[in-house]
Amino acid sequence: MSQMVKISALLMSSALLMIAGGMHGLILPVRGAEEGFSLLALGLIGTGWSIGFISGSISVPHLVRRVGHIRAYAVMAAIACMTILLNLIFIHDAAWIFLRIFSGFCFAGAAMVVESWLNEVSDNESRGTTFSIYVSVTLFASTAGQMVIAVTGVAGFIPFVLAAIAYIAAVLPTAVTRTPQPAPLQTVSLDVVVLYKTSPIAVVAAFSVGMANGAFGTLAPVYGIERGFSTATIAYLISLAIVAGAIAQVPLGRLSDRIDRRKVMMGVAIIGAVAGLLTIVFNPGENALLYLLFALYGLAAYSLYAIAVAHANDFADDGSFAKIASGMLLVLGSGQMLGPIVASLTMQWMGPVALFMVPVAFHGALAATAFFRMRIRDAAPAEDRAPFQAMPSERLVTGETLNLDPRSEENEFEFDENTGEAPATEGSEPQQG
């Protein structure tokens, strides 16, 4: 309970941020489609978010070292609030693409500040509990934001203003918290050679998940609009997919603790590919089959990345978990940038349901790669595997999320307090997985 009191203000701030982000992420594609934006423009809005999010993950740590956590967080929330209000003033596709870069940047920065604070107040015994609570808060708050849009719709100015209020309200808990400001933020870095040597399948999984979920997360609402679904139905479908994936993470992760994680990744990727293929074949209307297919797709698509991170951790050298996982984060981000563009062009050419061709292709490729890797490399010994840890949706994972992850503490991974950089690790070449 004393730990909960310490982090309650930070969790409240994070919840408000996620509510605003959930609303913002659903308003833009649905309202944009209703305004007649092209499919390519709607895809580029999703790409803009990913560009901003990755840019924020890289550059915000430098800002925090200059002005401190509270000021940096206030700047991020204020700019995010301004951004969504500018979305309301300038209803134009080019303006929304440009502004979405800023919202992704600010969202990454604000999330990193909260996560670093949570990391500061968590000791070895409470880190796992704190991380689990944080993951749950991000899930429920983001879903709550989407449910608000199910009630308000996207017409008029009300949804934009409500999201802006949530953004700026997120400043208040952090502004009055008495929790000491934490150490400088982690700088995300990418070492392609080390990452690929550590786990080729994890790299393929990160890129495939980025492509598939970047396309689905951005354009599934557009698919719904093109099919004539109501805003409420779209919000329910997207929320169902996300919740199904979050719920499935734990049992699938525990299964991957017991058997070769690549078998689990292959099976889950096949489920995602089959769900997408069935959606293409049946192209159902607003009925039970549609909800079932979205739930099945979400179960697979939103649980894969956490398993891939766990697999990479199994083969990482001691002390390199966060470095490996942050590299995967940048590979994931590259997929999230490209996925919406590829899917929008495919939809423009073959119709709305062609959205699911991208997840089918990349989940199929991941399943094939996992099968191939199992034939040339043995699984990690059971005694060398760290227990699986559920993670937030990959659209919300930052470098500080990885630093808060209890596996980072178990590997005794530390950062230079002046630069935020990881120290060089010593030892033999990482084992391939």
Q: How far apart are CA 10 and CA 130, in angstroms?
A: 11
Is residue 235 scored above 80 in pLDDT?
Answer: yes
The rounded mean pLDDT for the chain is 86
pLDDT of 309 higher than 80 = yes
The encoded tokens of residue 269 equal: 């990727």
CA-wise closest residue to 88 among 163, 177, 17, 197: 163
Number of domains into which the chain is organized? 2
| Residues 176 and 194 both lie in one domain | no
Q: Strand locations in 160-315, DSSP E?
A: none
Give pLDDT, residue 195.
Answer: 77
Segment 329-366, tens digit of pLDDT: 889 999 999 999 999 999 999 999 999 999 999 999 99
Greater confidence (406 vs 302) lies with 302
Together in a domain, 239 and 370: yes
Residue 422 lies in a domain: no
Task: Report how far residue 89's alpha carbon sits from residue 83's, in angstroms, rounded to the nearest whole number.
Answer: 10
Whether 80 is in a domain gets the answer yes
Q: Is residue 428 part of a domain?
A: no
Q: What is the pLDDT of residue 183?
A: 66
Is the pLDDT assigned to residue 3 strictly greater than 90? no
Residues 213 and 145 in one domain: no
Mean pLDDT for 136-143 is 92
Does one domain contain both 210 and 144?
no
How far apart are the C-alpha atoms of 390 and 153, rounded to whole Å? 32
Q: How many angstroms separate the Cα of 288 from the Cα of each of 225, 237, 378, 393? A: 18, 11, 42, 25
State pLDDT tens for residues 183-196: 666 666 666 677 77
Residue ending a domain, among 185, 214, 237, is 185
Would you say residue 419 lies in a domain?
A: no
In a domain, 72, yes or no: yes
Kindly tell me the burial class for residue 421, based on how many C-beta atoms sit within 10 Å of its own C-beta (0-12, 13-18, 19 or more): middle
pLDDT of residue 1 exceeding 60, the answer is no
Segment 36-65, tens digit of pLDDT: 999 999 999 999 999 999 999 888 888 888
Please report which confidence band the pLDDT of residue 421 belongs to, taking 50, 70 and 90 as the band edges.
very low
Residues 120 and 197 in one domain: no
What average pLDDT does range 110-116 have in this prediction? 87
Spatial distance between the Cα atoms of 106 and 196, rounded to a whole number of angstroms: 30
Answer yes or no: do 236 and 177 share one domain.
Answer: no
Is the residue at 414 inside a domain? no
> What is the extent of the structural domain holding 322?
189-397
Contact 239, 146 (CB under 8 A): yes
The continuous run of DSSP H or E covering 75 comes out as helix 69-89
- For residue 13, is it within any domain? yes
Confidence of residue 322 (pLDDT cuts 50, 70, 90): low
Same domain for 298 and 387, yes or no, is: yes
Q: Are residues 177 and 230 in the same domain?
A: no
Pick from 13-17, 111-115, 156-160, 205-209: least confident: 111-115
38 and 153 together in one domain: yes
Where among 151, 185, 219 does a domain terminate? 185
Residues 142 and 260 in one domain: no
Same domain, 60 and 161: yes
- Verify that 161 and 203 share a domain, yes or no: no
**CATH number, domain at 379?**
1.20.1250.20
Cα 132–137–141 angle (5° rounding)? Answer: 155
Report phi then psi at 424, rounded to 5: -65, 140
Q: Is residue 307 part of a domain?
A: yes
